[in-house]
Each structure stands twice: as structure tokens, then as C-alpha cells.
Amino acid sequence: MSFIVAIDGPAAAGKGTISKVVARHFGFVHLDTGLLYRAVGLKMLDGTDAISAAKALGATDLDADGLRTPEVAQAASKVAVIPDVRTALVDFQRSFAQHSNGAVLDGRDIGTVICPDADIKLFITASPEVRASRRFAELTASGHDTTPDQVLADVKARDARDSQRDVAPLKPAADAVLIDTSDMSIEAAVEAAITAVQHKREQGR
């Protein structure tokens, strides 16, 4: 019987790490839905029409090199506001969510649009400054030449695009469990998420 965990939140809040650990803890499959938009964004940067790229997207595209660069992250945010791109990727995500062993999907509209009937919804967030600091550390560790101010500006610009877009804006579902990781260790945040999911599973027994 499937069990769907929807995890949403802005960039660098910790939802990716939390989602992977939650999936591993419960033996669920995991999908980072942001990779779908990054893959489309990468193809757009290479000259492919975004809508055509979304319609032709396959699982192997999620393993492409360069999906984690700042340029692709910004491109992903831009293609995500295109309604036809989002429509093309909905079926992929909803099909994945029905995995018989249970599934964790993380993104920005999982609990509100993709899986509004998910068994549990989590919204992982943190202040823009904290998220920018984390992102800056990641980028510099991987050799990217940037500044803290530039990263903070990029985080705020992406937040604005994601939360203000007309289609599937970033926002917590009304029944989501909110986890603010601004002052939490990743271990504490993971534990809070696992506890919330376990409680929900026990309620359903």
C-alpha cells in the first residue's frame, strides 16, 4: 500500500537532505522534483525550447552533469513559471508518488498541487540569510567564484519568483507540518521530520 510524504520548501532550507534520510529510514523511494525543472533548465540553456524539453524529459535526464550549478538553478526557477512546462511534468511526479513501497517527493508544490492528498505534508523553511549562508558554503566548497551578497541576492530573487508565480506558487499546504531549520542542526531537523511521519503512519494503522 502506498504512503506519500510531500516535502516542500525554499532552496537551501534542508528539504533535500531531510527527504533523502526520511526515505531511507522508512524504505521509501525518493524523488527530488527540483531535478525535473533543473533538467529542463539545463536543456533550455543549451538552446532547447523549455516546453519541448519538458515533454520529452526522461529519467536519464535527471543524471545529467551540471544540474547543481547556480546557473541551472536560476534557469530552473525561470522555466518553473511556464504553465505548459509544469503541466508536462505533473504526470511524471504523480505516477512516481504511487510507488507501492511508499514515496517521498520534495519540491515546491508537492503538498499543494502534485499530491494534495498526500498522507503527510511537511514544509521545511529557514530565513533567507541562513539559507544563503548554507548555499554560499556549498558553492565555495565546490569551487564556484561568488560572494555572500550575490548568493543572498540570488536566494531572494528565487524566493520571489517561486512564491509570486501565478501557477503553483511556493507556499505551505494548509495542513502541512512546519519545520523551521534556521536554528536547528540537520540531525534535529531530520529527527523532527521522521517523528512527524512515524506519528502519521501510526495514526493510519
66 is in an annotated binding site: no
11 is in an annotated binding site: yes
53 is in an annotated binding site: no
CB 41 within 8 A of CB 81: no
16 is in an annotated binding site: yes
34 is in an annotated binding site: no
For 85-94, letters b (16+ CB in 10 Å) and e give bbebbeebbe
9 is in an annotated binding site: yes
3-state SS assignment for residue 13: coil
126 is in an annotated binding site: no
CB 162 within 8 A of CB 86: no
What is each CA distance from 171 to 54, 160, 203, in whole angstroms? 23, 12, 26
15 is in an annotated binding site: yes
Would you state the cell numbers that stand for residue 23, as one nine-digit string? Answer: 526515505
Q: Where are the beta strands (DSSP E) in 25-155?
A: 29-32, 103-107, 120-125
Plot region of 168 (φ>0 → left; ψ -120 to 50 → alpha; else → beta): left
116 is in an annotated binding site: no
Binding-site annotation, residues for ATP: 9-17
Binding-site annotation, residues: 9-17
